[in-house]
Amino acid sequence: MNNRRQVLAALATLASAGVWAHEVSQPSLTPEQLLEAMKTQLPPSPEGFAWQIYKNAVFPKPAGWTERELAAPPSRVTMSTYATSPEVFSQAKPFETGFTVQIITGSKRTLNFEARRMALAYVKPFLDSHRKDEILLLEQKPGGDFEQTFFRYRDAPPGLKPIIVHKFILAHDKADTVHIFTFESPADTWDANWSKFGTQILSRVNVVP
Give 140's strand partners: 149
pLDDT tens digits, residue range 22-66? 333 445 566 677 667 777 778 889 999 999 999 989 999 999 999
Percent of the chain's residues with pLDDT above 70: 81
Q: Are 97 and 185 in contact (CB under 8 A)?
A: yes
**pLDDT digits 0-9 by tens, 85-136:** 999 998 889 999 999 999 999 888 888 889 999 999 999 999 999 999 999 9
Instruction: Give me the domains of the chain, ranges plus CATH numbers.
Output: 44-207 (3.40.1000.10)
Structural contact between residues 106 and 152, judged by C-beta atoms closer than 8 angstroms: no
Instruction: Read off the pTM.
Output: 0.83
DSSP strand E in 63-119: where? 66-70, 78-85, 98-105
